[in-house]
Amino acid sequence: MSVLLFSLAVFGTSILAGFLGAMTGLGGGVVIIPVLCLLFKVDIHYALGASLVSVIATSSGAAAAYVREGFSNIRIGMFLEVATTLGALLGAYLTAKVTGNWIGVIFGLVLLYSAWASLQKLQDVAQSATPDPLALRLNLKGSYPENGTEHEYIASHVPAAFGIMFGAGTLSGLLGIGSGAVKVLAMDYAMKLPFKVSTTTSNFMIGVTAAASAGIYLSRGYILPSLAMPVMLGVLVGSLVGVRVLARTEVKTIRIGFAAVIVALGAEMIFNGVTGRL
């Protein structure tokens, strides 16, 4: 295969990954990394680097649309970014300390969890009767418009959410993905934020989290421009189309199909990691 053909094949696959990633809210990275490793036989470190670049692109590209709707909360986002960026530094540092096979196994486990999480119905958790005093002090509250009225909310369990976000950042730095599925744990279940607020705020944060690992990835040489180029452009195109289509379609069947693909990829990553083939 020539470099031209290879780049076109990677570009096409990345469009599909970005499209499915946007439709399911998991991001393009979870699909493109295993496909690059298993199908295109790319070294896992280059796959992580290319995916990380595409994560920054999709997060930034989608942010403008989300911000306009008025759901994202920049204070909560900025506060939790302290945790995710510190976690990302740790994760990016760890990529040099653990072998590619270990990264593959951890990646597979995160894929299996993400598949499960993507099938859960997004539901608002009831707000606590007594607000977290820390949330009051840090001003972690807001309101969002729905059916013509403003709904107010305030964050609960702030320390727990901060800890989980540190973990999400570590996974993002270690695996070159956005780890949106873990963020839902912190913002929906711990902070009990309305899901529209948590989804859009999480997307807002992903780019900054990934930028924290990007400096380390770059200096280690994980970001190969010739590979990152088709992956970044493809995922960006795919996700922009995906977000448009998402607004007009019933996605349940797509979600189930995508979850099945992710389970298969996750199982194969674990198998390849355990048998030392990555």
The residues of the shown chain that bind another protein, judged by CB under 8 A, are 1-4, 6-7, 40-43, 45-46, 53, 56-57, 59-61, 63-68, 70, 72, 74-75, 78-79, 81-82, 85-86, 88-89, 92-93, 96, 138-139, 207-208, 210-216, 218-221, 223-230, 232-233, 236
In the complex, what is the shortest distance from the CB of residue 13 to another protein, in angstroms, rounded to a whole number? 14
Q: Which helix (H) or strand (E) holds 184?
A: helix 180-184
In the complex, what is the shortest distance from the CB of residue 83 to another protein, in angstroms, rounded to a whole number? 10
In the complex, what is the shortest distance from the CB of residue 65 to another protein, in angstroms, rounded to a whole number? 8
In the complex, what is the shortest distance from the CB of residue 177 to another protein, in angstroms, rounded to a whole number? 16
Q: 64 or 126, CB closer to another protein?
A: 64
Q: 204 or 258, CB closer to another protein?
A: 204
Q: 117 or 193, CB closer to another protein?
A: 193
Give the integer Cα–Cα distance in Å for 37 and 176. Answer: 13
Residue 70, both tokens: 């008025």
**Maximum CA pair distance of the chain?**
63
Q: 78 or 122, CB closer to another protein?
A: 78
Give the integer Cα–Cα distance in Å for 229 and 53. Answer: 9
Q: 118 or 200, CB closer to another protein?
A: 200
Q: 108 or 173, CB closer to another protein?
A: 173
| Angstrom distances, CA of residue 273 to CA of 38, 100, 105, 163, 247 | 11, 8, 5, 28, 38
Three-class secondary structure assignment of 129-142? CCCCHHHHHCCCEE
Q: Residue 78: CB partners within 8 Å, gap ≥ 6?
A: none
Q: Following DSSP, what letter does each residue of 150-180 receive, concatenated?
A: EEEEE---HHHHHHHHHHHHHHHHHHTS--H
In the complex, what is the shortest distance from the CB of residue 70 to another protein, in angstroms, rounded to a whole number? 6
In the complex, what is the shortest distance from the CB of residue 146 to another protein, in angstroms, rounded to a whole number? 16
In three-state secondary structure terms, 251 is: coil
